[in-house]
Amino acid sequence: MSVKVISVLENILQANEQVAAENRARLDAAGVYAINMMSSPGAGKTSLIEQTLRALSPQMRIGMINGDTSAASMDAERGAQVGAKAVHINTGGNCHLEAHMVRQALAALDLSALDLIIVENVGNLVCPSGWDLGVHARVVVASVTEGDDKPYKYPNMYRVADVLVLNKIDLLPYLEFNVDYFLQGVRLLNPEVQVFQVSCRTGEGIPAWAAWLRERARHSALP
C-alpha cells in the first residue's frame, strides 16, 4: 500500500452552479426576466409580490415560484389570486431553495407565456444567500420592524443583493429605526445596491420599484 495526496480544488457548490447556469440559459432563451426574492420570515415578500402584480399585471405576464418548508401553499395562492401563474415548491424542511428545485418549477411553467418570474425563497436571512438559482437579480426584502442592525448581523445576505427593498416604512414614526445607519451597513459591503423604500400597506414607493422591474424585464424580452 502507498499513501498519496491528491489535489482536488473543487468547489462544493459546483453542482448547484451548473444547474443555475442551465436555468439562466433557459430563461434567456425564452426572454423571461427572473428575480430571487429573499428575506427573513414576515418581512413582506408575499405582500410585495401582491403589490408588484397589481402594478404590473396584466400588461406583464408574471409567474411565481414559491418555496416553503412545508406543504402550506397559501403564499402561492395569494399570488394566484392577483393573477400570477404560481408554482409551489415544498422544500421538505430544507431552509433554502436550490437551483434544481427551480429547474423543476420552470418545467411546470409555460415560459413562452411569461415576461417575468418572481421566485419567492424560503424566509431565512442566512442560507438562501449562498445558492445561485440561475435568475437575473437577487432582491432582498427588509422591513423596519426587524431593526436597523440586520445588515451588520447578516452581512452575507445584504452583500449579495442587487436590489434592496425596505418595507413597512409607514411604521417608521413608531419605531427607533435609523434608516441612515441601516443603509450604511448595507452599502459598506455592497456600494452598488439599488434601494427602494416602500410600504406594501399604503402603496408608497411601489411605483418606483415596479418601474425598475418593468424596465429590467423589457431589456430581457426577446426582440
Q: 200-222 in b/e burial notation, b at 16+ Cβ within 10 A?
A: beeeebbeebbebbbebbeebee
Count of CB atoms situated within 10 Å of the CB of 152: 15
* Rounded Cα gap, residues 11 and 2, in angstroms: 27
Q: Which helix (H) or strand (E) holds 218?
A: helix 206-220
The span of 10-18, 32-40, 60-68, 205-213 binding other proteins (CB under 8 A) equals 10-18
Q: Which helix (H) or strand (E) holds 105?
A: helix 99-107
Bond before 151 cis per omega within 30 degrees: no
Among 189, 195, 212, 220, binds other proteins (CB under 8 A): 189
Among 3, 70, 180, 219, binds other proteins (CB under 8 A): 3
Count of CB atoms situated within 10 Å of the CB of 21: 13
Q: Contact between 2 and other proteins (CB under 8 A)? A: yes
The answer to whether 136 and 24 have CB atoms below 8 angstroms apart is yes
Q: Contact between 11 and other proteins (CB under 8 A)? A: yes
Among 81, 104, 112, 184, binds other proteins (CB under 8 A): 184
Among 39, 51, 129, 199, binds other proteins (CB under 8 A): 129
Which positions from 143 through 162 interact with other proteins, judged by CB under 8 A?
Answer: 152, 155-156, 159
Q: Contact between 58 and other proteins (CB under 8 A)? A: no
The span of 29-37, 89-97, 103-111, 168-176 binding other proteins (CB under 8 A) equals 89-97
Q: Contact between 112 and other proteins (CB under 8 A)? A: no
The span of 5-13, 46-54, 73-81, 203-211 binding other proteins (CB under 8 A) equals 5-13
* 89-to-32, 99, 101, 104 alpha-carbon distances in Å: 20, 12, 7, 9
The span of 7-15, 19-27, 38-46, 81-89 binding other proteins (CB under 8 A) equals 7-15
Q: Contact between 195 and other proteins (CB under 8 A)? A: no
Q: At what angle do helices 45-56 and 206-220 cross, to 10 degrees?
A: 70
- Contacts with other proteins, residue ranges (CB under 8 A): 1-15, 93-96, 98, 126-127, 129-130, 152, 155-156, 159, 184, 187-189, 191
